[in-house]
Copies of this chain bind each other. A is one copy, B any other.
């Protein structure tokens, strides 16, 4: 059973599961586990690991259009090294500070593999779900795509400084807050744009028609991409970017863009069914965590 099938099993049993966050009254809550072999390439600093792990959960809070309240993290490692733990905590503190959330600690666990579990929560009285997109809506993304893919290339090339820098992203909490009042559906792009669109399509019972040229590709991708097809792979399928993908009425796009502190780019239209890019089927392929 692969992870997606298993997640669907969880969704069948737990009513609150299946969106970026679970909603309990006016709270939203989300939890993630990341670990060395799949999430932290060689060269990832403990500071970056703390930033990125907590950031991933804060991104889910952002995707609900919520204010970020606080986050906790469990640090599991074979040894407890004072400098590594201190650096990890600084990363957690700094990413929380970047979105006006409070980092309130967590737990330590002796663990064979470096493993981090994070939980973030936030507050909103009007959460935005994945399920509200309607044919005719515009679909937009915040910021640029492909930054984490570019980071991985940098790590592979041994440029750990640039890799770490690209790996630390700002969770789009402020953008989510600004866009939320206009949005009909929203999620983060952690599995890549293509897979995110397929997930929104499934949740909303709609399709998407995307224009390739409209996709805002991260400058860092241009530096590492090996031709246009590689460029598209990194920007559209790789994922791990933690940008927001939101749908909204065409008439609301300008107001939403104005309310977002980062660029909000219209990349296509919500359709009745099917997910296409430039008229061709866009495969549901991306990063499975």
Contacts and interface: CB of A to CB of B under 8 A. Distances in A.
Interface of A: 1-3, 5-7, 9-11, 13-14, 16-18, 22-25, 27, 29-35, 37-38, 69-70, 72-74, 76, 79-82, 85-86, 89-90, 93, 102-113, 115, 117, 119, 121, 289
A108 B14 CA distance: 14
Given A13-B93, A31-B107, A109-B289, 14 more contacts: A1-B79, A1-B85, A2-B80, A5-B80, A7-B108, A13-B89, A13-B90, A14-B103, A16-B104, A16-B105, A32-B109, A33-B107, A115-B115, A121-B121
Contacts of A7: 108
A17 B74 contact: no
A125 to B, nearest CB: 16
- Chain copies in the assembled complex: 2
Contacts of A6: 80, 82, 85, 108
Nearest to A6: B80
A36 to B, nearest CB: 10
Contacts of A2: 80
A112 B111 contact: no
Given A14-B104, A105-B16, A27 B72 contact: no
* Of listed A3, A13, A29, residue having the most chain B CB within 10 A: A29
Nearest to A17: B105
Contacts of A82: 1, 5-6, 9
B81 A14 contact: no
A11 B113 CA distance: 24
B14 A89 contact: yes
A37 B110 CA distance: 10
A16 B31 CA distance: 19
Given A22-B72, A93-B14, A121 B29 contact: yes
Contacts of A72: 22, 29-31, 119
A24 B70 contact: yes
16 contacts: A2-B80, A9-B86, A10-B105, A13-B89, A13-B90, A14-B93, A16-B105, A17-B106, A27-B69, A27-B70, A29-B121, A31-B107, A37-B112, A74-B117, A76-B115, A110-B289
